[in-house]
Amino acid sequence: MRIDLHTHSTVSDGTGTPAQVMREAAEAGLDVVALTDHDAVDGWEEAAAEAESLGLRFVPGIEVSAKDRWVSIHMLALWPRPEDAALAEILALTREARVGRARTMVERIAVDYALEWEDVVTHAGDAATVGRPHIADALVARGHFARRDEVFAEVLHNSSPYYVHHYAPDVHDAVRAIRAAGGVPVFAHPAAHARGRVVPDRVIASLAEAGLAGLEVDHRDHDAEAVARLAALAERHGLIRTGSSDYHGTGKLNRLGENLTSVEAFEALEAQRG
Ligand code: AMP
Ligand code: ZN
Ligand code: FE
Ligand code: FE
Protein backbone atom coordinates (compact mmCIF):
# COMPACT_ATOMS: atom_id res chain seq x y z
CA MET A 1 0.00 0.00 0.00
CA ARG A 2 1.32 3.43 -1.02
CA ILE A 3 -0.20 6.18 1.13
CA ASP A 4 0.57 9.91 0.62
CA LEU A 5 -1.25 12.27 3.01
CA HIS A 6 -0.15 15.77 1.93
CA THR A 7 -0.68 17.32 -1.55
CA HIS A 8 -1.74 20.67 -3.04
CA SER A 9 -3.84 21.72 -6.04
CA THR A 10 -4.78 24.97 -7.79
CA VAL A 11 -7.24 25.55 -4.93
CA SER A 12 -4.15 26.85 -3.11
CA ASP A 13 -0.60 26.94 -4.45
CA GLY A 14 -0.28 23.65 -6.35
CA THR A 15 -0.15 23.77 -10.15
CA GLY A 16 -2.56 20.91 -10.98
CA THR A 17 -6.34 20.94 -10.59
CA PRO A 18 -7.72 18.60 -7.88
CA ALA A 19 -8.70 16.06 -10.58
CA GLN A 20 -5.23 16.27 -12.17
CA VAL A 21 -3.58 15.62 -8.80
CA MET A 22 -5.72 12.50 -8.42
CA ARG A 23 -4.82 11.27 -11.92
CA GLU A 24 -1.13 11.86 -11.21
CA ALA A 25 -1.50 10.06 -7.89
CA ALA A 26 -2.91 7.02 -9.69
CA GLU A 27 -0.05 7.18 -12.23
CA ALA A 28 2.44 7.37 -9.35
CA GLY A 29 1.00 4.08 -8.08
CA LEU A 30 -0.58 5.51 -4.94
CA ASP A 31 -3.45 3.63 -3.27
CA VAL A 32 -4.45 6.37 -0.82
CA VAL A 33 -4.00 10.11 -1.29
CA ALA A 34 -5.05 13.16 0.71
CA LEU A 35 -5.65 16.59 -0.82
CA THR A 36 -4.52 19.16 1.77
CA ASP A 37 -4.75 22.61 0.24
CA HIS A 38 -3.76 25.54 2.44
CA ASP A 39 -6.75 26.81 4.48
CA ALA A 40 -9.38 25.58 2.00
CA VAL A 41 -11.65 22.61 1.28
CA ASP A 42 -12.82 23.71 -2.18
CA GLY A 43 -10.99 20.90 -4.01
CA TRP A 44 -12.50 17.98 -2.11
CA GLU A 45 -15.57 17.33 -4.26
CA GLU A 46 -13.72 17.28 -7.57
CA ALA A 47 -10.87 15.22 -6.12
CA ALA A 48 -13.20 12.71 -4.47
CA ALA A 49 -15.15 12.15 -7.70
CA GLU A 50 -11.99 11.69 -9.78
CA ALA A 51 -10.40 9.41 -7.18
CA GLU A 52 -13.50 7.24 -7.11
CA SER A 53 -13.43 6.76 -10.88
CA LEU A 54 -9.74 5.82 -10.64
CA GLY A 55 -10.24 3.33 -7.80
CA LEU A 56 -8.07 5.47 -5.56
CA ARG A 57 -8.90 6.01 -1.89
CA PHE A 58 -9.34 9.76 -1.24
CA VAL A 59 -8.74 11.43 2.13
CA PRO A 60 -10.14 14.98 2.50
CA GLY A 61 -7.68 17.26 4.27
CA ILE A 62 -6.55 20.83 4.90
CA GLU A 63 -3.11 22.29 5.67
CA VAL A 64 -4.17 24.82 8.30
CA SER A 65 -1.93 27.88 8.74
CA ALA A 66 -1.20 28.44 12.44
CA LYS A 67 1.46 29.96 14.70
CA ASP A 68 3.18 29.55 18.04
CA ARG A 69 4.03 33.14 19.03
CA TRP A 70 6.05 34.23 15.98
CA VAL A 71 6.79 30.82 14.55
CA SER A 72 4.64 29.86 11.58
CA ILE A 73 3.26 26.30 11.78
CA HIS A 74 1.38 24.16 9.28
CA MET A 75 -1.13 21.75 10.80
CA LEU A 76 -2.65 19.06 8.61
CA ALA A 77 -6.29 18.29 9.36
CA LEU A 78 -7.44 14.94 7.97
CA TRP A 79 -11.21 14.25 7.63
CA PRO A 80 -12.50 17.41 9.37
CA ARG A 81 -16.20 18.14 8.84
CA PRO A 82 -16.26 21.05 6.35
CA GLU A 83 -19.56 22.32 7.75
CA ASP A 84 -18.06 22.86 11.21
CA ALA A 85 -18.69 26.58 11.80
CA ALA A 86 -15.76 27.29 14.15
CA LEU A 87 -13.17 25.69 11.88
CA ALA A 88 -14.71 27.32 8.78
CA GLU A 89 -14.49 30.71 10.53
CA ILE A 90 -10.78 30.29 11.31
CA LEU A 91 -10.07 29.30 7.71
CA ALA A 92 -12.09 32.22 6.32
CA LEU A 93 -10.21 34.70 8.53
CA THR A 94 -6.88 33.30 7.37
CA ARG A 95 -7.80 33.36 3.67
CA GLU A 96 -8.98 36.96 4.01
CA ALA A 97 -5.81 38.00 5.87
CA ARG A 98 -3.65 36.33 3.22
CA VAL A 99 -5.07 38.66 0.55
CA GLY A 100 -4.15 41.84 2.45
CA ARG A 101 -0.76 40.37 3.29
CA ALA A 102 -0.05 39.47 -0.34
CA ARG A 103 -1.07 42.98 -1.44
CA THR A 104 1.33 44.53 1.07
CA MET A 105 4.14 42.22 -0.05
CA VAL A 106 3.48 43.20 -3.67
CA GLU A 107 3.64 46.92 -2.72
CA ARG A 108 7.03 46.33 -1.11
CA ILE A 109 8.36 44.21 -3.97
CA ALA A 110 7.10 46.72 -6.57
CA VAL A 111 9.58 49.28 -5.23
CA ASP A 112 12.39 47.13 -6.68
CA TYR A 113 10.77 44.95 -9.37
CA ALA A 114 8.18 45.73 -12.03
CA LEU A 115 5.12 43.99 -10.57
CA GLU A 116 1.44 44.78 -10.10
CA TRP A 117 -1.25 43.27 -7.93
CA GLU A 118 -3.15 42.32 -11.09
CA ASP A 119 -0.24 40.02 -12.06
CA VAL A 120 -0.71 38.11 -8.83
CA VAL A 121 -4.49 37.96 -9.28
CA THR A 122 -3.90 36.44 -12.72
CA HIS A 123 -1.55 33.80 -11.36
CA ALA A 124 -3.76 32.97 -8.38
CA GLY A 125 -6.54 32.24 -10.91
CA ASP A 126 -9.42 30.48 -9.17
CA ALA A 127 -7.41 29.69 -6.06
CA ALA A 128 -9.39 29.99 -2.82
CA THR A 129 -6.16 30.71 -0.93
CA VAL A 130 -3.53 33.20 -2.08
CA GLY A 131 0.08 32.46 -1.18
CA ARG A 132 3.62 33.56 -1.82
CA PRO A 133 3.96 31.01 -4.67
CA HIS A 134 1.43 33.09 -6.67
CA ILE A 135 3.65 36.17 -6.20
CA ALA A 136 6.58 34.01 -7.30
CA ASP A 137 4.74 32.95 -10.46
CA ALA A 138 3.95 36.59 -11.26
CA LEU A 139 7.63 37.56 -10.90
CA VAL A 140 8.66 34.62 -13.09
CA ALA A 141 6.12 35.64 -15.74
CA ARG A 142 7.53 39.19 -15.67
CA GLY A 143 10.93 37.67 -16.48
CA HIS A 144 12.64 38.60 -13.22
CA PHE A 145 13.37 34.97 -12.26
CA ALA A 146 13.34 31.53 -13.87
CA ARG A 147 11.54 29.45 -11.20
CA ARG A 148 9.55 29.63 -7.97
CA ASP A 149 12.42 28.45 -5.79
CA GLU A 150 14.71 31.21 -7.12
CA VAL A 151 12.12 33.82 -6.17
CA PHE A 152 11.85 32.31 -2.68
CA ALA A 153 15.62 32.35 -2.26
CA GLU A 154 15.90 36.01 -3.29
CA VAL A 155 12.64 37.76 -2.48
CA LEU A 156 10.01 35.70 -0.68
CA HIS A 157 11.84 33.89 2.14
CA ASN A 158 10.69 34.47 5.73
CA SER A 159 13.49 36.87 6.70
CA SER A 160 13.25 38.94 3.52
CA PRO A 161 12.55 42.70 3.89
CA TYR A 162 9.57 42.12 1.58
CA TYR A 163 8.09 39.48 3.90
CA VAL A 164 4.83 40.27 5.70
CA HIS A 165 3.07 38.11 8.32
CA HIS A 166 -0.61 37.24 8.14
CA TYR A 167 -3.19 36.34 10.76
CA ALA A 168 -3.19 32.67 11.69
CA PRO A 169 -4.70 31.01 14.78
CA ASP A 170 -2.57 29.91 17.71
CA VAL A 171 -1.55 26.33 16.96
CA HIS A 172 -3.11 24.94 20.17
CA ASP A 173 -6.42 26.55 19.23
CA ALA A 174 -6.06 25.13 15.73
CA VAL A 175 -5.53 21.60 17.08
CA ARG A 176 -8.59 21.91 19.32
CA ALA A 177 -10.70 23.34 16.47
CA ILE A 178 -9.66 20.48 14.17
CA ARG A 179 -10.56 17.90 16.84
CA ALA A 180 -13.89 19.63 17.55
CA ALA A 181 -14.64 19.33 13.81
CA GLY A 182 -13.95 15.59 13.94
CA GLY A 183 -10.59 15.97 12.20
CA VAL A 184 -7.27 14.32 12.97
CA PRO A 185 -4.41 16.85 13.40
CA VAL A 186 -0.94 16.02 12.12
CA PHE A 187 1.93 18.52 12.50
CA ALA A 188 3.30 19.13 8.96
CA HIS A 189 7.09 19.23 8.43
CA PRO A 190 7.78 20.19 12.07
CA ALA A 191 11.54 20.50 11.55
CA ALA A 192 11.73 22.19 8.13
CA HIS A 193 14.20 24.80 9.37
CA ALA A 194 15.30 25.89 5.88
CA ARG A 195 11.92 27.67 5.61
CA GLY A 196 12.21 29.62 8.83
CA ARG A 197 12.10 29.08 12.56
CA VAL A 198 10.83 25.77 13.95
CA VAL A 199 9.38 25.04 17.37
CA PRO A 200 11.31 23.43 20.25
CA ASP A 201 10.45 19.97 21.61
CA ARG A 202 8.37 21.36 24.49
CA VAL A 203 5.84 22.82 22.01
CA ILE A 204 5.33 19.37 20.51
CA ALA A 205 4.80 18.04 24.04
CA SER A 206 2.14 20.69 24.76
CA LEU A 207 0.48 20.07 21.39
CA ALA A 208 0.26 16.37 22.25
CA GLU A 209 -1.59 17.44 25.41
CA ALA A 210 -3.93 19.62 23.30
CA GLY A 211 -4.90 16.71 21.05
CA LEU A 212 -2.27 16.40 18.36
CA ALA A 213 -2.49 12.97 16.69
CA GLY A 214 0.60 12.73 14.53
CA LEU A 215 3.91 14.10 13.34
CA GLU A 216 4.92 14.27 9.69
CA VAL A 217 8.35 12.76 10.29
CA ASP A 218 9.23 11.67 6.76
CA HIS A 219 9.32 14.77 4.55
CA ARG A 220 11.75 16.14 1.98
CA ASP A 221 12.63 19.14 4.16
CA HIS A 222 13.90 16.91 7.01
CA ASP A 223 17.51 15.71 7.09
CA ALA A 224 18.47 12.45 8.83
CA GLU A 225 19.03 14.22 12.14
CA ALA A 226 15.57 15.84 12.03
CA VAL A 227 13.94 12.50 11.18
CA ALA A 228 15.67 10.84 14.15
CA ARG A 229 14.68 13.63 16.54
CA LEU A 230 11.05 13.63 15.38
CA ALA A 231 10.76 9.84 15.41
CA ALA A 232 11.95 9.87 19.04
CA LEU A 233 9.47 12.64 19.92
CA ALA A 234 6.62 10.73 18.27
CA GLU A 235 7.53 7.65 20.28
CA ARG A 236 7.81 9.59 23.55
CA HIS A 237 4.45 11.35 23.17
CA GLY A 238 2.46 8.55 21.57
CA LEU A 239 2.13 10.42 18.27
CA ILE A 240 1.60 8.66 14.94
CA ARG A 241 4.50 8.90 12.48
CA THR A 242 3.48 9.94 8.97
CA GLY A 243 5.37 10.58 5.75
CA SER A 244 4.24 12.44 2.67
CA SER A 245 5.30 14.27 -0.44
CA ASP A 246 3.82 17.77 0.07
CA TYR A 247 3.35 17.69 -3.70
CA HIS A 248 2.81 21.09 -5.42
CA GLY A 249 2.80 19.96 -9.07
CA THR A 250 5.46 21.71 -11.15
CA GLY A 251 5.86 24.43 -8.51
CA LYS A 252 8.33 22.42 -6.42
CA LEU A 253 10.66 19.45 -6.80
CA ASN A 254 8.56 17.26 -4.46
CA ARG A 255 7.27 14.15 -6.30
CA LEU A 256 4.11 12.25 -5.36
CA GLY A 257 4.88 9.24 -3.20
CA GLU A 258 8.47 10.29 -2.45
CA ASN A 259 7.62 9.80 1.23
CA LEU A 260 4.87 7.50 2.42
CA THR A 261 2.78 6.67 5.48
CA SER A 262 2.58 3.05 6.66
CA VAL A 263 -0.71 1.15 6.65
CA GLU A 264 -0.50 0.79 10.46
CA ALA A 265 -0.07 4.55 10.89
CA PHE A 266 -2.92 5.27 8.47
CA GLU A 267 -5.26 2.91 10.31
CA ALA A 268 -4.29 4.49 13.63
CA LEU A 269 -5.11 7.95 12.23
CA GLU A 270 -8.40 6.78 10.79
CA ALA A 271 -9.38 5.25 14.14
CA GLN A 272 -9.19 8.78 15.60
CA ARG A 273 -11.75 10.32 13.23
CA GLY A 274 -14.35 12.14 15.26
P1 AMP B 1 2.65 31.20 2.25
O2 AMP B 1 1.65 30.11 2.55
O3 AMP B 1 2.07 32.30 1.44
O4 AMP B 1 3.38 31.72 3.46
O5 AMP B 1 3.77 30.52 1.32
C6 AMP B 1 4.38 29.34 1.78
C7 AMP B 1 4.31 28.27 0.70
O8 AMP B 1 5.28 28.55 -0.27
C9 AMP B 1 4.64 26.89 1.23
O10 AMP B 1 3.51 26.18 1.54
C11 AMP B 1 5.32 26.24 0.07
O12 AMP B 1 4.40 25.52 -0.69
C13 AMP B 1 5.82 27.35 -0.79
N14 AMP B 1 7.28 27.42 -0.77
C15 AMP B 1 8.09 27.66 0.28
N16 AMP B 1 9.39 27.65 -0.09
C17 AMP B 1 9.40 27.40 -1.44
C18 AMP B 1 10.42 27.26 -2.43
N19 AMP B 1 11.70 27.40 -2.10
N20 AMP B 1 10.05 26.98 -3.69
C21 AMP B 1 8.75 26.86 -4.02
N22 AMP B 1 7.75 26.98 -3.14
C23 AMP B 1 8.05 27.24 -1.87
ZN1 ZN C 1 2.09 25.25 -0.36
FE1 FE D 1 3.49 23.38 4.60
FE1 FE E 1 2.07 21.69 2.10
In this prediction, residue 173 carries a pLDDT of 98
DSSP state of 239: P
Q: Which residues surround ligand 3, an ion (CB under 5 A)?
A: 74, 188
pTM across the whole model: 0.98
Q: Half-sphere exposure (CA, 13 Å, Cβ side) for 129?
A: 28
Cα of 6 from ligand 4 centre, angstroms: 6
The amino acid at residue 249 is G
Q: DSSP secondary-structure letter at 51? A: H
pLDDT the model gives residue 38: 98
| Pocket mutation for ligand 1, best pick of 148, 219, 254 (most atoms within 8 Å of C-beta) | 148
The predicted pLDDT at position 125 comes to 96
Q: How far apart are the first and last CA of the chain?
A: 24
What's the pLDDT score for residue 151? 98
Contact 168, 175 (CB under 8 A): no
Q: Whose CA is nearest to atom 3 of ligand 1?
A: 131
Alpha-carbon distance of 5 to 185, in angstroms, equals 12
Classify 171 as helix, strand or coil. Answer: helix
Tell me, what's the pLDDT at 196? 82
The per-residue pLDDT for 110 is 98
Stretches where the chain sits below pLDDT 50 are none
Question: In order of start, what are the domains of the chain with their CATH numbers?
Answer: 3-79+180-270 (3.20.20.140)
